[in-house]
Structure 1
Amino acid sequence: MLSEGYIYDVLREGLRVAVVISAPVLLVALVTGVSIGLFQALTSIQEMTLTFVPKLAAMLAVFWASMNVMTQSLIDFFQTVIIPSISGG
């Protein structure tokens, strides 16, 4: 039987991995959204697609570029934390 402290440690590590994996995409979305919003405020252009399309393109580019790191983080988490706790080791 797993102890309560071990379960909390696994959950904390899982949340840390989730933050590390999602941080690059979310940060790029934030920076792109703020910069385009600033551009729209300065030029008085209020077009919805001007916000959506560049933000989507930037997020897809960062996701594609960081897919290897994201996958490796998940593999490491499962191999070091989840699989040993399932097998009892």
Structure 2
Amino acid sequence: MLPDLERKLLRILINYPAHRSRVPTLRLLKYLTGRKPNEIMEGIASLEEKGYIMFKNKRDLQSLIVLKEEAQPVQRVERAADYWTTH
């Protein structure tokens, strides 16, 4: 499961180009996430390391390419059906 910032960045990078046909700027990412530019760039670097995005030119966000559109699913713990009757 991705940390909050990385998950938020991935959702923005997936959904924003669908409406505007371009990648959001660093200024817009700062506004949308409420984070500092260095935190955003660390999140983007982490997404690249994990294989979610490809970032060719590190100076230009327009070179970002989303490789995976879905984060890893959350594993849910199954609870016994009789939990409330035994506790």
What TM-score comes out, normalization by structure 1 length?
Answer: 0.27
Bigger relative contact order, structure 1 or 2 (CA pairs below 8 A, ≥6 apart): 1
Higher strand share: 2
What TM-score comes out, normalization by structure 2 length?
Answer: 0.27
Q: Specify the structure having the higher radius of gyration (Cα).
A: 1
Higher helix share: 1
